[in-house]
Amino acid sequence: MMPMTMLKKILQTTLVFIAASALCTGATAQKHQKKSVGKPATARAAEGSTPYASRADAMAFADDLAERRDLDREWVRQAIGQARFLPQVPRLMLPPAQGTAKNWRAYRSRFIDPVRIRAGVAFWQQNRAALERAEREYGVPADIIVGIIGVETIYGQNMGSFRVMDALATLAFDFPGAHPRAPERTEFFRRELEQFLSLTHRTNVDPFDPRGSYAGAMGLPQFMPSSWVRYAVDFDGDGRIDLFGSPADAIGSVANYFIAHGWTPGMAPYYPVEFDTARVDMDALLAPDILPTFSATSMAAKGAIVQGAGAQHAGPLALVELQNGDDAPSYVAGTENFYAITRYNWSSYYAMAVIELGREVAAARSR
């Protein structure tokens, strides 16, 4: 058995060299095992149900992938063929039942709690130099980076226990048809499976060893395979990228991700907003959803008055609605930086949880 640290060195060093040619939330990761050149390791004890070797569509995908990526055909067929369908994973991908009321306060309580705040303070103290450097070099505040890693994995305590190969295969070939964006999401996960297999083949890594989330995300920041290739950086300068074991690499990679998705240094993520109830046009204000569209002046003309420094904000804004179950919703004026956080997870609730967790950790740390 190859120790996990050695395997990750091999994988993540290679990622540095192939990033230019590539495409785009448990347990700690398991020990890895090196495979024979050109062939995947033999199948482990089943973690799911029927392997995909019996599926014609999966084997056709394997043949096409091998040809397009110039990979060994038998290796790809064996890798995909040994992957197991995980019956719980498609259920986890389905949105809440129609009519289920969203509740920001309930959502917030899942992520802003004493356990996560204490862990965040410890993480910040242990990695202060890397956080300060990331803020200095990328312009992404330390509290935003701390918020992301805390929401995603509780600072590495929960990086996922699913075999990434099984999770990606399940979502590539059995994404739930009841999902409103099933065709688009199926294609997304097929691309991620392709990226994952390409990486493991190039690095001579057994594709059944890496562990991650039920969606196939990996490491402290829960990067999908394509995001790992595109945005992960060797921030600790040791010559390799290690998002599992190097907090510094995770910190730099999160900052790099945000810069690539439009983060503007120095810009607040949102401003308070109040309403002129006599003339507020909520339909028009909410129509663009979280995409920044309005100037502060045009929002005011529609009855939403941006408060404080936001009244002079020069860029576009979005009226962000956070529902509170049966109670009145909460609203903020989101900037382009708020929108950048939602590129990590397409949810205004997620973005607010990241912002507020980071701020709570910063306040606890200062105390």
What positions carry a catalytic annotation? 152
Q: Kind of pairing, strands 162-163 and 304-306?
A: unpaired
Interatomic CA distance for residues 174 and 89, integer angstroms: 9
Return the ∠ at Cα 246 (arms to 241 and 248), rounded to 5°.
90
Closest by CA position to 13, among listed 181, 194, 182, 204: 204
- The Cα 213–Cα 332 span in angstroms is 31
138-175 burial code (b ≥16 CB/10 A, e <16): bebbbbbbbbbbbbbbbbbeebbebbbbbbbbbbbbbb
The 8-class DSSP code of residue 116 comes to H
* Residue from 260, 259, 191, 253 nearest 228 by CA: 253
SS3 state of residue 45: coil
